[in-house]
Structure formats: C-alpha cells, structure tokens
Structure 1
Amino acid sequence: MLKNFIFLLLFPVISFSQAERRPIIGFSKPDSVDIFVQYGNAEIVKKAADLIQAPESQAFLTEFNKKFPDTFEKEIRYKQLLTANVDDWEMRLYDERKSQLAFLKNYPNFDKLSPEFQKLVESNIRWNYWHLLLSYSIIRSNLDTKLTRVVSLPTVMTEALDPQKINDESALLSESYRDFLPFFITYFNSQEQKFVKYADQVKAITDKGNVAQKYLKGQVLDYTLTKLIYDNCGRITASSAKFWISQLEANNYRNLLFEHCKETLNKKEEVAKKKDDSKDKLPLGGDYPVLTGLDGKQFNFAKYKGKVVYVDFWASWCGPCRGEFPYSKKMHEGFTEKQKKNIVFLYISIDEDPTNWKNAVDNLKLDNGDHGISNGGFGSSVSQKYQINSIPRYMIIDKNGTIVRPDAPRPSNPETLELLLKLSE
C-alpha cells in the first residue's frame, strides 16, 4: 500500500494520448509526466523546446546520454538510492555532477551551443544533484513503514541549500528543478517538524503548502502547489482542496485541479463529531452551537446578548467570501464608537483546518470583528444547525438573542447597514 503511495506521489498517471502530445523539452524520456509542460507558462515551455530541439543541442544530448545514460531517469535513480547508504549516495551524486559539468565545458563543439542552452544544461545538472539527494530521504522514509521519523540527511550535506534562495522562475526551464521542488518542500517541512512522520494527511499537505508559501512565490509557487495537490487530492478533504486551489494565480492550473480532483471536490463533507463534554462547558442558551475563538477558548452566541450581531459564515478557500470583506470593513469603519459597541461583526469559519483559518484571518487583516470556527465544512455544527449549503451566508441576531434574519443581505447590499442601525437603536 505504501509502495503504491510513493509511486502515486512521484509518478501520477498520464494517458497515452497526453504523452503523445507532450513536447520533448526535458532531458528524461518523453513519456515522463510533467504537468508544467501541459499546463504551465506557454512561453517558458516553448523556449525550452526551442533550445533543446536545436540541431546543435540534439547532437550534444546524444553524446551526453551515451556518457551518462541514466542520469535524469527518475524511476531508475529512485531504485538505485534504495540500495545505497547515504554517504555513498551523496558521493556518487557529487562525482556525477562534477563529471557532467566537465563534460559540458570540454565538449568539442561547446562554442556552437547557445549560451541559453549551456545554462539550461548546467541548471539540469546542478538541480538533479539536489533532487536526488533529497529524494533519498523522502523515498526511503515512505517505503519503510516501521520508521516513525523521516530519515534526516547529515547537516553537512544540506547546508549549501539555502531555502531563501530556492525561488527562481528562470529555473523552471529545467526539468530537474521542477522535479526538485516537491522534495524540497517535503524535506524542509519534515525538518521543521523535527522529522516526525505524520498520521494526518490533511495536516501534512497543509504544512507542506505553508512551507511552499513561505519560501516560494509567483510561477514557482503556483507550480509547486499544483503538483502537491495534483498528487494528493485523493487524500485530502474537499475544503482543503478548495482552499489550496484558491491560492493559485494561474487559471490553467486551477482548471487542471478542478478536473483532476473532481471526485474529491464533489464529495460531501462528513458531519463533524461533537465532543461529549462540549455541552458542559458553556450554557447553550437558544441551543446555539459551540464555536472556538482564535485564542482557543469556546463560546457561543449567548456571549453577545444585548448586542446586535451580524454573522458572516465563510471559509478561507471561498473567493466570494473574500470579495465581501472590503464592504464589511468599510461599513464597520463608518460606525460611531457607540455603534461599534452595540453592533458586533462575527466571522464564523467552517474551515476543516484551523491553520488555514488563522492564516487567512491574519493575511486578510480581518480586524473589524470577532472570530470563531466550527470545523467540518458543510458538515460542521453551524452548517447543520442553520442549513448552510453554500457560502458566503449572513445572519442577523437582535439584542434579545433572536435570529431575525437567518439569510441576511450581504455587506455590499445597502440594506444591510439600514437593518443593523435600526436594530441597534
């Protein structure tokens, strides 16, 4: 089972028709799967294809592959690393890199190779070293089910790999760089987790995504997140998939994931299980669901008795929800100090992952109200209680704690301000 997981992670299925359409722009065999070639930046793909398919480049690659036949063949290299100890593997990679760079420099027709192609060859050689070094740790760790920790590489082997200097859009030309990126976020995330293995795959994907956002940006980030979700959408929840898809800027990648992760995105959220002791912690006046605040403390609507509450049901992955936030903030900023004391804006997230929720609150600077979470997506307690089947959704509660508008107008609707001010009088 775990072996199948590894091959799903590193070798996603591609149809024969897709393989036929794939331009030969990499240094490995043309049937290798590369979502960047199919859905990435068309200009970069064309540039790489033009560089590699030039007659002088093809002549060089023919000679290079005779000298180093399996250098970039991932399936072969991943099998090789399983039979080597880490010191021998690193030394082998080091010697290969040195020999390959020397072969390029001393190539008889070196001057006939375009400077851009020379740079591409160097990039593939250098990033292939790091790709295969980090893959030693991740692949061996995943295959050994008895291990409770990820195999960490000796610090001396990775100290030259500065995570702050990984982001390089020009390097996306290099197939080895693209192969390296998933291992980079996996290894450095493991390092941040002190190399303890995950039991929760949703949290694992979330943490890897956060590491990607920490060190990468632009097209590099888009590609890396897409690869992460593409390879793992069957192991995460619908809410988590929607969140990460919402983080992408490139429509091509979004459309790819919407299609590839269709089964995950369409499955219904499971009803969140309530803790047995939750009813004992708070008086549930009005049978209000229990929420958890940013500080980790529980509360419910009873907390706001005597105030008018404008409830905003949302999730970090919801684009339309985000689109309404500027109107909420503008409306709140227009209140007098007395009105701000009498009217509460309460944002309730239905995210499945509290980390995504907290990051979104911070990144979006939602500082004009209170916050709570009811985990579980559309299966959460608030979603079940108030029959929330889509978001954004809004609700207004009066000073007596009565829900007077279970389906209230949006912040962008002028009627909302009138309703709140009238109720607060």
Structure 2
Amino acid sequence: MGMAIIIGKTDNLRAFEFFNIVNKSSSSLKLKNYYTEIKIIGDSLILKIDSISEPQLIDMFSYTDSVMYATKFILKPSDTIIFEIKNKRIHIKGEKANEHNFYSNLKDSTPNYMLNSYKGNIMEYKSRVDSIYNKKVDFFNRYIKRLNITSKSFIKYIESDLKYWHIFELTNPRTKKTKNSIYLVDPDGLIPIIQKEYSTGEKLFSIKNYLGNITVDDFKDESHLNMLSYKAALPTLIRCHFETSDYPRYTKEKLLAEKAVIEYNFNEEIKEYTLASLIATYHDKGFGYSKESASFFKNIINEYSKQYPDSQYTKDIQGFIDDIGYFELKLPESALNTKLLNKYGDTLTLGEIFSGSNKRIKVIDFWASWCPPCIDEIKKEKDFKDALSIEGNVEWIYLSIDKDIEKWLKKSKELEKFLNVKNQYLVLEGTNSKLGKFFKVNWIPRYVILNKENEIILNNAPRPSDTQIFKQIIDNIK
C-alpha cells in the first residue's frame, strides 16, 4: 500500500473550483470521486490519495465556462504527479511525464472512437473500428520508440488497454448521436443490430470473422480487472459470443445461461466482478417485472451477497432488492397527495391524476428542463409511445422536478409536439416532495411503471427508447 500525491498549478483559478479525479480502475460498479484530501492554496492544488496497492487508471478533469480540461494517466503506489493547467490544457511534468501524458497525446494524434458510428453495415463499421485501432497501436509503438520508454509494466498495460477498447467498440456499436456529434454505444450491444441487418437470411453473419479468434482464455488474467476497458468489454463479449444459447435476451433462461458461462470459465476474482455486472445489467433492463422473476432475481442477488459478503460490488447491488420490493406496492397516501402544477397554473395531486386514468397502465417520466438525456429521450420513439397508448392502454405522465417554473414552461413549449399536453406537470418541491422521497428520485431520466390498479410494477424501468424490452414489460402486465 502507498499514498499518492497530485500537485498542480493553474493560470485559471476557476479550473480548480470544479476540479475532480475519478478512479476508472475502481472495484465498484459506479464511478466515484477518488481522493482522501484536497487543498487549494493560491494558484496551487494539493491532493492526496491513500492506500494504493496497484496501478490505477485515473481520469483528471475540470471545466470553466468555456473550457473543458481533461486527461487520464496510470497512477502507481507512492507516485507524485505534478501537473499544470495552462493554455487550455493539462500537462503533467516530471520524470515519468512521457508515460503520464501518453493518453493525452494519443487522443490528440489518433481518431476518436466516439466520432465513429454504425451506419447500417456492420462489416463496414468493423473496418472503420479496426482502422482506428491500428492507428492507435501504430502511434503507441512509435511513441515508446521515439521517447525511449522501456517500462515493461507500462507497455503491457497500454497494449492490453488498447486491445480491450477495440473489442468493446466492436461489441458495442455506436448508434446514438448527441448534440456534440459524439456517438454513444447501443445499449443492447451487437446482437440486435446483427438480427436486424441479417434478418432476411440472404447472407450469414460469422461472429468469429467479425471478432477474430477471441477466446475465454484472453480474459483470464485477473490483474486486468484494474482496467476499465477489460471490465467494459468482458460482459458484452459473454452475452454476444461466449454464451451461445438462443434464449430471448434478458429472460430468466438467458440470465442462467450467462451465469453458467461465468461460473464455469473464470476464477473467483473475475467471477466476483462479472456476476455483479450481469446482475446490474439485468436490473437496468427491468428484469423482475413479474412475481416469479422478482422472487427469482432477489434470490440471485442474495446468493451473490452470501458468496461475496465483503465485496464492494455486493454493496452496489444490494439496493436492487429495494427496487424489487416495490413490485405491486401501492403508493402511500403522502405520495399520492403530492402537489403538482399543470401548465395552466392549476394545482392538483397525483391521486387526482390517477383517478382520471382508471384501468390504464401508467408510465411516470421524471425529467427536467436542464437534463439533456431526459429531453433526448422525450423526443425519441414518439410513434412507439403513441402506439402503446392505444394498443397497450398506456397513460404517459410527465413529471418535471424543475425548481424554476418559467424554465419548465419554456422547455415544455419547445417539446409540445412530443409531450402529452394533458399529462405534464411540475412537482412542487421536486425531489424533496413526498413523491420524490418515496421513489428516491436522485437521478433522471427516471421511469416508473404502474399497473391498472396503481400498483408499482417497476420503480426503475428501462428507457422507453429501448422499445423491445419496454414493450415486453408492458405486454406482461396483467
């Protein structure tokens, strides 16, 4: 174990006001702030990190009104990192500066995977991904040769990291475009795209030709668990390559099949992470929306918790049991009496809204005018939502947690062709309301599904744009 110290100077003091670092090698399913103590003295920052036992991949970032500063580097036990924020860049100095600045130089000198999107032909997408990977590998080889970097641990780490990110990009095609022309990965990975593109049967898809000769043995080095790239690539690879059954996605049978692959092939350390990741993925996809699956899923989580009682992953997934506990649970009177404001200035309660939607399934969408993902989701799949309203007897209820009424009204006006005019409201007191506290609305967008009797089916449902899974949930509500 060792303590690491990070020391920085800046020509823009506001950069230190919003300074943070995240450990991307964390033994947690959630990215967290990663420091023990931070001090800002004049134009200098001193940050201490306790108890580092192995190399960690660190994201260091800050922002001001007009500039985003970001870099990442490998932090080792007892390291002292000295950096400078100047001319809109973060530059690391010192003896190992060439190693610590590698990722920044790689980003500046090679194409960005996040600008590379799937355009309807998966093999053409693969060709572009392979090209980007080859350019990154070529840059790395020239970089270590030009700067005479001989550290075997550094070279091994980067080679593996680049390889795993390449696999991740292949198994998670980028399909979702943001306002900044950055593409996000498809939430379901490769399989739905292959099924759609090769549905006619006129041509066959070979996963081996697509991924290359990747085997389970390529993922058996537990030391790679300190790489985010490894932890990102392995779960999807299990789902689309190592597990070969034809069971439908996100079903009990598929979960057990994937679980069996993990338990048969990997040692305890890798199983500890990968099983937790499997549970988290199924939870995110809304698994547990029936009495049978809720009980089954709770048993899976409890089984994991008994097997790994001291794991950070256990702490991360224990909260899922609370979500399952909401199944067919009635909203308390305090939540039903939460005051809402409609766009005409009238105040009413959630209970009054429900009384006007008797015998309909209800989907509550918690959102806010300042939340880009919320707005992006509201705009998506309007035809799908309209069809569910008619065919699935679904009532969509949009609840904003905005604090500023005028901003809510303005954004609602901009979105009026997507929002249900009848069922959009502002939650008075927002997340501090009885409704907000009952559902623990600590993040948005957030979706809650209730059945026709106003019993909670899912406290944390998948996004409606995940149409196949979302419709499956609605279809199974009696």
TM range (shorter): 0.3 to 0.5
Give the TM-score normalised by structure 1. Answer: 0.46
Structure with more of its chain in helix, by fraction:
1
Give the TM-score normalised by structure 2. Answer: 0.42
Structure with more of its chain in strand, by fraction:
2
